C-alpha cells in the first residue's frame, strides 16, 4: 500500500524536502505499525522543513518529531490493533521516520496511550512544545520552587512552549511574566493567565552580568542573550529551566548569578526523556491544562499546508500551536 509522506533526501545540491508517495515496504523497523491521523509543527520541525538544517541525521528521512494515530498491527505486548497512540521525540524525524506521513512503524516502547479525556488531536495540539513546557514546570517544582516565592518569567511567550507554560503555571498559582516580541498578542497572553507582559527587547540584547532581581524562577525556550538575561535577573536562590534555542545556541553570560546569588540553571530534554517522567508530564497536562485554553492557542491545518506552517513558525508568525491533520 502506498501512503503520502514529507521526506528529506540528500542530493549533491543539499537537502531536497518534498511530499512524496512511499510504500509500506519502505517503513523502518519497529514492532508497532500505525495509521497516522495527526501531527504538529514545532520550531524544530520548521528547521527541518526548510531543508537547510542538520535536524535529519540520516537520509532519506520522513520528517515530523510528533505523531498520533491508530495502531494497525502490533507485536508489542502493550498495544493491539485499534489502540490510540502518540509519540514525541525518540529521534522521530531525525534518525527514525517521523510523523509527517500517513503511516508509521516505530518501537512500541516509544508510544503512549492518550490519558483519559485527551484526544489524539489534543495530544498533538500540545505536542513536543507543550510536553517540553510541562517538563520544565516539573523541573522547577522538583527544585522546590513555589508560587509564593515570587513571579516566574516565560520567554517566547506567544509560541508553543510559552503558551502552554503560561497556562500550566497560572493554573498552579504562579504570577507569570510573559516576554514576547509581539505586542499585539498581549491580550491573548493575559487570557492564558499572564499577569504581566514585557517586551522581548528588554531581554534579547546583551545585558549586565548581574541585573536587578526581578523573578524567582524562569522558563526559557529562546537561549542566547535572552536566557543569559533571565538568569542574571533571577532572585537569590532562584531556578531557571531551559528547553529551547529559538534565539541561538550560544550562552553569553557570567558566572556571577550562580556564585553570588545561588541561581540554578536546569536543562530540560524532551527527546530522550525517560518514560516515567514523560508519563508524569502528560498526566499533568491532562489534569491541569484547560481544554478551552488549549483550543484558543491551537489552529488546525491540512497536511498539504505543512511547509507553509513551517516557514511561518521560523518567521515567528505562529501563535501557540498548530495541529496537522494527516489523515485524508
pLDDT tens per residue, the chain (328 residues)?
A: 799 999 999 998 899 999 999 999 999 999 999 999 999 999 999 999 999 999 999 999 999 999 999 999 999 999 999 999 999 999 999 999 999 999 999 999 999 999 999 999 999 999 999 999 999 999 999 999 999 999 999 999 999 999 999 999 999 999 999 999 999 999 999 999 999 999 999 999 999 999 999 999 999 999 999 999 999 999 999 999 999 999 999 999 999 999 999 999 999 999 999 999 999 999 999 999 999 999 999 999 999 999 999 999 999 999 999 999 998 6
Residue 46 CA to residue 308 CA, distance in Å, equals 9
Within 188-273, strands assigned E span 194-199, 215-220, 234-242, 264-267
Q: Say whether both 87 and 158 belong to one domain.
A: no
Q: Could you tell me if 213 and 169 lie in one domain?
A: yes
Asked whether residue 101 is assigned to any structural domain, the reply reads yes
In a domain, 286, yes or no: no
| Residue 160 and residue 211 in one domain | yes
Same domain (yes/no): 82, 199: no
Which residues form the domain of 142?
A: 126-267
Residues 133 and 187 grouped into a single domain = yes
pTM for the model stands at 0.95
Spatial CA neighbour of 233 closest among 266, 268, 209: 209
**3-state secondary structure at position 157:** coil
Q: Are residues 26 and 142 in the same domain?
A: no
Q: Rounded to whole angstroms, how far apart are CA atoms 99 and 88?
A: 9
Q: Are residues 103 and 184 in the same domain?
A: no
Among 248, 267, 286, the domain-final residue is 267
List the CATH number of the domain containing 157.
3.40.50.720
Task: Tally the domains of the chain.
Answer: 2
Assess whether 48 and 157 both reside in one domain.
no
One domain for residues 81 and 56: yes
Question: Do 185 and 309 lie in a common domain?
Answer: no
**Given 267, 286, 310, which residue is the final one in a domain?**
267
Q: Kindly state whether residue 279 falls inside one of the protein's structural domains.
A: no
- Taking Cα atoms as reference points, which of 77, 129, 135 lies closest to residue 277? 135
The reply to whether 21 and 107 lie within a common domain is yes
Amino acid at each position: 500500500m502506498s501512503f503520502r509522506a514529507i521526506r528529506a533526501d540528500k542530493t549533491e545540491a543539499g537537502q531536497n524536502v518534498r511530499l512524496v508517495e512511499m510504500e509500506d515496504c519502505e517503513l523502518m523497523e519497529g514492532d508497532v505499525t500505525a495509521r497516522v491521523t495527526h501531527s504538529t509543527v514545532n520550531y524544530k520541525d520548521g528547521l527541518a522543513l526548510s531543508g537547510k538544517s542538520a535536524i535529519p541525521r540520516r537520509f532519506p528521512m520522513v520528517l515530523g518529531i510528533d505523531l498520533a494515530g491508530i495502531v494497525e498491527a502490533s507485536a508489542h505486548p502493550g498495544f493491539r490493533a485499534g489502540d490510540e497512540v502518540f509519540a514525541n521525540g525518540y529521534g522521530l524525524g531525525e534518525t527514525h521516520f517521523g510523523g509527517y506521513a500517513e503511516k508509521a512503524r516505530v518501537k512500541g516502547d516509544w508510544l503512549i496511550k492518550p490519558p483519559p479525556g485527551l484526544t489524539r488531536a489534543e495530544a498533538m495540539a500540545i505536542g513536543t512544545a507543550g510536553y517540553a513546557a510541562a517538563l520544565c514546570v516539573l523541573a522547577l517544582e522538583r527544585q522546590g520552587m513555589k508560587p509564593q516565592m515570587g513571579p516566574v518569567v516565560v520567554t517566547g511567550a506567544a509560541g508553543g512552549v510559552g503558551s502552554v507554560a503560561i497556562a500550566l503555571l497560572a493554573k498552579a498559582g504562579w504570577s507569570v511574566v510573559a516576554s514576547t516580541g509581539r505586542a499585539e498578542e498581549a491580550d491573548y497572553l493575559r487570557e492564558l493567565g499572564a499577569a504581566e507582559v514585557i517586551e522581548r527587547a528588554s531581554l534579547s540584547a546583551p545585558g549586565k552580568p548581574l541585573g536587578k532581581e526581578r523573578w524567582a524562577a524562569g522558563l526559557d525556550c529562546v537561549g542566547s542573550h535572552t536566557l543569559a538575561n533571565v538568569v542574571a535577573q533571577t532572585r537569590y536562590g532562584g531556578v531557571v529551566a531551559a528547553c529551547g534555542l529559538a534565539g541561538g545556541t550560544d550562552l553569553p553570560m557570567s558566572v556571577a548569578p550562580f556564585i553570588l546569588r545561588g541561581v540554578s540553571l536546569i536543562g530540560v530534554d524532551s527527546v530522550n526523556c525517560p518514560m516515567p517522567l514523560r508519563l508524569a508530564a502528560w498526566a499533568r497536562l491532562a489534569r491541569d491544562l484547560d481544554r478551552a485554553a488549549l483550543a484558543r492557542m491551537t489552529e488546525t491545518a491540512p497536511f498539504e499546508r505543512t511547509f507553509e506552517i513551517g516557514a511561518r513558525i521560523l518567521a515567528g508568525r505562529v501563535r501557540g500551536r498548530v495541529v496537522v491533520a494527516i489523515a485524508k
